[in-house]
C-alpha cells in the first residue's frame, strides 16, 4: 500500500505569559510579526492577543513532523524571550481571566465576536490540531464516520486543562467545556458520501449560517480546502513527545482504516450519542476513568482500551515508521497526562503560579 499520501501537519496553540505575574499577557503581535519574517504563515495570531499558533509544513512522516514541531517551539520561545514573555502549552491557563485579555484586531475575529458575543470573548483555550492526508474526500468522509469511535481514547490521553479562572474544575479537560458554547462543535456527524457532506456545507453557506467550511469546528472534520482529515479534539500538549505520539496514532488510525476499506473490510460504526458518552468520561476523568466498550456493552478501564487501540494499529506503524512514537502512549499513561501532572504540582504547592512555571518548563523540555 502506497503511504506517501498520508502526510502530516501539526498545529499548536500556545499561551504568552508574563514572567513576573505568570498571567496571560498580550504579545501585541510582536512574536507573530517577527516569526513571519522567517516562517511566513507557520506563525499566526489567534483571536486573543495572548495566543500564538504555529503550524508545521506538510510532513512526509512523523520524523519530519517532530523536527518541525521542535524547531517551531524553539523559535517561538526565543522570540518570546526577546520581548520579555514566556511560552506555555496547556489547554487553559490555570488562573488568568478571559475578560482581561484583548481581542486581536481582525475583520474575521470582529465578525465572530459580533455573532457569538460572550461565547467568543470567553473562548480563551488552546488546542492541538493534526491534519492527516487522504487519497480523496470520499475516503475522508468514510474514515471520519468510523474514526469517531476512537476520538475519546485520544482525547483522554490529551487532557491538559484541569483549571479555569483559578479553580480546580474537577475535569481533566475543561477546555472542551468552554468550547461547547460555540455552534457546530463536538463530535462530527456521519455522512453517507462526500457529496452529502458538500451539500450540507452548501446549505449552511446559502442560508447565511457560515461563510465557509472553516466554521465547522467539530472534533474531527474534513478540511474545507485541503485534502486532509483534521483531528481537533485534543488539548495542546506540554511536551513535544506527547504531541508527536498523538499525531502518530492519529495517522496510524487513518491508515489502518484505509487499509481495511481497501480490503473491503471495516471497523464497526457507532452512533454519535454513544460516542458522546465516552467523550464526556474522557473530559471528566482523563485516562483514570472508564470508557464504554460498546461491543461488549460494559465499562472498561480507559487505559485498557488505549492498549487495544495500540494493538489495533500495530500492523501499520512499522510501514509508517512510527512504532516508537505510537508506543510512547504507554509512557504517557505511566507518567500521567498533562492534567494529572498539573494537578500534582498544585496539590504539592497550593500555588497556581508554580503550576504555570511547571507548564513553561515542560513546554521547553527537550528542545535544546
CA 256/CA 326 separation, integer angstroms = 13
- Counting Cβ atoms within 10 Å, is residue 249 exposed (0-12), middle (13-18) or buried (19+)? buried
CA 310/CA 38 separation, integer angstroms = 38
- Counting Cβ atoms within 10 Å, is residue 20 exposed (0-12), middle (13-18) or buried (19+)? exposed
DSSP state of 188: P
- Counting Cβ atoms within 10 Å, is residue 350 exposed (0-12), middle (13-18) or buried (19+)? exposed
- Are 130 and 246 in contact, with CB atoms under 8 Å apart? yes
How is the chain split among helix, strand and coil, in percent rounded to 5?
Answer: 50, 15, 35
Q: Of 138, 129, 154, 136, which is closest to residue 252 (Cα–Cα)? A: 154
DSSP string, 121-174: HT----EEEEEEE-S-HHHHHHHHHHHGGGHHHHHHHH--B-EETTEE-S-SB-
* Rg, Å, the chain Cα set: 19
- Are 94 and 355 in contact, with CB atoms under 8 Å apart? yes
Q: Which CATH class is domain 8-364?
A: alpha beta
Give the contacts of 359 (CB within 8 A, at least 6 positions apart): 88, 89, 90, 94, 238, 338, 342
Q: Report pLDDT for 29.
A: 75
pLDDT tens for the chain, residues 1 to 368: 777 899 999 999 999 999 999 999 987 677 777 767 677 778 777 778 889 999 999 999 999 999 999 999 999 999 999 999 999 999 999 999 998 888 887 888 888 888 889 888 888 999 999 999 999 999 999 999 999 999 999 999 999 999 999 999 999 999 999 999 999 999 999 999 999 999 999 999 999 999 988 899 999 999 988 899 999 999 999 999 999 999 999 999 999 999 999 999 888 889 999 999 999 999 999 999 999 998 889 999 999 999 999 999 999 999 999 999 999 999 999 999 999 999 999 999 999 999 999 999 999 998 98
Q: Of 289, 366, 294, which is closest to residue 333 (Cα–Cα)? A: 289
Q: Report pLDDT for 103.
A: 84
At 366, phi and psi to the nearest 5?
A: 80, 10
Kindly report the length of the chain.
368
Cell matching residue 322: 512510527
What does pTM read for this prediction? 0.96
E strand spans, the chain:
8-17, 43-45, 51-55, 86-88, 127-133, 163-164, 167-168, 220-222, 228-235, 290-293, 298-301
Amino acid at each position: 500500500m502506497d503511504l506517501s499520501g498520508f502526510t502530516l501537519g501539526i498545529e499548536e496553540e500556545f499561551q504568552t505569559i508574563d514572567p513576573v505575574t505568570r498571567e496571560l499577557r498580550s504579545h501585541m503581535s510582536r512574536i507573530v510579526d517577527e516569526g513571519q519574517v522567517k516562517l511566513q504563515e507557520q506563525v499566526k495570531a489567534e483571536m486573543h492577543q495572548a495566543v500564538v499558533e504555529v503550524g508545521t509544513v506538510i510532513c512526509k512522516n512523523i520524523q519530519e513532523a517532530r523536527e518541525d514541531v521542535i524547531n517551531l517551539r524553539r523559535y517561538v520561545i526565543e522570540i518570546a524571550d526577546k520581548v520579555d514573555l514566556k511560552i506555555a502549552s496547556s489547554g487553559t491557563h490555570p488562573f488568568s481571566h478571559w475578560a482581561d485579555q484583548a481581542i486581536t484586531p481582525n475583520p474575521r475575529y470582529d465578525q465572530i465576536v459580533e455573532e457569538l458575543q460572550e461565547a467568543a470573548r470567553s473562548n480563551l483555550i488552546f488546542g492541538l490540531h493534526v491534519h492527516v492526508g487522504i487519497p480523496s474526500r470520499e475516503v475522508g468522509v468514510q474514515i471520519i464516520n468510523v474514526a469517531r469511535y476512537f476520538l475519546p481514547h485520544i482525547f483522554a490521553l490529551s487532557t491538559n486543562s484541569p483549571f479555569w479562572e483559578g479553580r480546580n474544575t474537577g475535569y481533566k479537560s475543561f477546555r472542551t467545556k468552554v468550547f461547547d458554547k460555540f455552534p457546530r462543535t463536538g463530535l462530527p456527524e456521519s455522512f453517507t458520501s462526500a457529496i452529502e457532506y458538500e451539500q450540507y456545507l452548501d446549505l449552511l453557506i446559502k442560508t447565511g449560517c457560515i461563510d465557509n467550511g472553516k466554521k465547522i469546528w467539530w472534533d474531527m472534520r474534513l478540511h474545507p480546502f485541503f485534502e486532509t482529515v483534521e483531528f481537533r479534539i485534543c488539548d495542546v500538549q506540554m511536551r513535544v513527545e506527547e504531541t508527536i505520539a498523538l499525531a502518530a496514532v492519529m495517522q496510524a488510525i487513518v491508515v489502518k482504516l484505509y487499509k481495511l476499506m481497501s480490503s473491503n473490510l471495516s471497523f464497526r460504526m457507532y452512533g454519535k450519542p454513544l460516542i458522546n458518552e465516552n467523550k464526556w468520561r474522557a473530559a471528566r476523568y482523563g485516562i483514570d476513568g472508564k470508557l464504554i466498550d460498546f461491543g461488549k456493552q460494559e465499562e472498561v478501564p480507559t487505559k485498557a482500551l488505549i492498549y487495544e487501540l495500540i494493538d489495533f494499529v500495530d500492523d501499520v506503524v512499522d510501514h509508517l515508521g512510527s512504532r516508537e512514537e505510537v508506543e510512547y502512549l504507554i509512557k504517557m499513561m505511566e507518567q500521567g497526562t498533562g492534567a494529572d501532572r498539573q494537578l500534582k504540582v498544585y496539590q504539592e504547592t497550593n500555588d497556581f503560579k508554580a503550576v504555570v512555571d511547571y507548564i513553561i518548563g515542560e513546554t521547553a523540555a527537550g528542545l535544546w
